[in-house]
A and B are shown apart, each in its own frame.
Chain A
Amino acid sequence: SQTIHQWPATLVQPVGSPLSLECTVEGTSNPNLYWYRQAAGRGLQLLFYSVGIGQISSEVPQNLSASRPQDRQFILSSKKLLLSDSGFYLCAWSLGDSQPQHFGDGTRLSIL
């Protein structure tokens, strides 16, 4: 069966520090991969999605970047975190637009 792993579960970082959040999927090939940020009362904001290795689409210009070095690995990064980067980050995968998305357990990021 397919599983998605996202880590760490919680992270506290100072302003200006770098960030790397990792997401891996097991049990499927060539998934579409997604990064979302969830803020209270604002639902899920799509940050990046990828339909293949090295293919990244950015939805919202901001202080973050994403990379897909392997088929089932999706990394969210920042060189310098801002206070506004705080939030709950969710990784997800799917096999097509008629298929549901499957979510990881999320990373709660707090910026101090």
Chain B
Amino acid sequence: AQSVTQLDSQVPVFEEAPVELRCNYSSSVSVYLFWYVQYPNQGLQLLLKYLSGSTLVESINGFEAEFNKSQTSFHLRKPSVHISDTAEYFCAVSDKSGTYKYIFGTGTRLKVLA
């Protein structure tokens, strides 16, 4: 069975500071990895994804995540955050066995302080 762990439930950080949101997963088969962002009272929006190839993936708004197979991690980073990055971030995996199921972490609430 698969699982996703986001150890940090809340991360406060000052504006323009760097941030890292941690995600670790467990799976007996190869997986696809995703990060989603959720703003209050809205659905989730895809931030970035790792399917194959380069282990470093980037989003259009400055976030990046690196797939580390040996550590089974997919941490999300941004070198300089903005107030508008305040949101909840979810890490998710889907396996390659064709079950069509996605497993989500419990989320990390990023609060950017002025």
Contacts and interface: CB of A to CB of B under 8 A. Distances in A.
Interface residues of A, number: 26
Interface in B28-50: 32, 34, 36, 41-46, 49
Given A41-B106, A42-B106, A103 B100 contact: no
B102 A46 contact: yes
B101 A46 contact: yes
Contact of A90 (B43, B95, B105): B43
A105 B42 contact: yes
B11 interface: no
B43 A44 contact: no
The 5 closest A-B pairs by CB, nearest first: A103-B43, A43-B106, A44-B104, A97-B94, A100-B46
Interface of A: 6, 32, 34, 36, 41-44, 46, 49, 51, 59, 90, 92, 94, 96-98, 100-106, 108
9 contacts: A43-B106, A59-B101, A97-B95, A97-B96, A97-B98, A97-B102, A100-B34, A100-B46, A101-B34
